[in-house]
């Protein structure tokens, strides 16, 4: 799905850059739709996988915890050591930041 959206985004950008006025308008419309869809798909996917690994009944939501992991300076650190992230006991000390993000992306 992510690749399909990327391809559509590229096609829309080509219309905007090289098309006539009607095509430019279509390209802008496509971009608006793509930009509306991507966040909901990303958040839904993050929630499904991340909820099985991170505790959601803490000070921070699952989405916030994923953001902390994304922004963590050393992506080779275990997610357990990222400030604000709480990992379910069953999977403690199992994922680096990079490995976790590869799972959800």
Model confidence pLDDT, tens digit, residues 5-60:
778 888 888 888 888 888 888 888 888 877 776 666 566 666 678 888 999 888 99
Q: What CA–CA distance (Å, rounded) separates 13 from 19?
A: 9
User: What does the pLDDT read at residue 16?
Assistant: 86
Model confidence pLDDT, tens digit, residues 58-79:
899 988 999 999 999 999 999 9
Residues 6+ apart with CB under 8 A from 105: 2
* Three-class secondary structure of residue 60 per DSSP: coil
Contact between 68 and 82 (Cβ < 8 Å): yes
Q: pTM for the complete prediction? A: 0.60
Contact between 24 and 16 (Cβ < 8 Å): yes
């Amino acid at each position: 799905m992510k690749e399909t959206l990327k391809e559509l985004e590229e096609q829309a950008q080509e219309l905007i850059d090289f098309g006539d006025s009607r095509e430019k308008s279509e390209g802008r419309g496509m971009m608006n739709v793509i930009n509306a869809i991507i966040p909901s798909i990303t958040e839904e996917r993050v929630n499904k996988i991340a909820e099985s690994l991170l505790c959601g009944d803490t000070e921070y939501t699952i989405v916030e915890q994923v953001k902390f992991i994304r922004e963590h300076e050393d992506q080779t650190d275990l997610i357990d050591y990222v400030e604000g992230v709480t990992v379910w006991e069953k999977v403690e000390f199992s994922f680096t930041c990079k490995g976790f993000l590869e799972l959800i992306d």
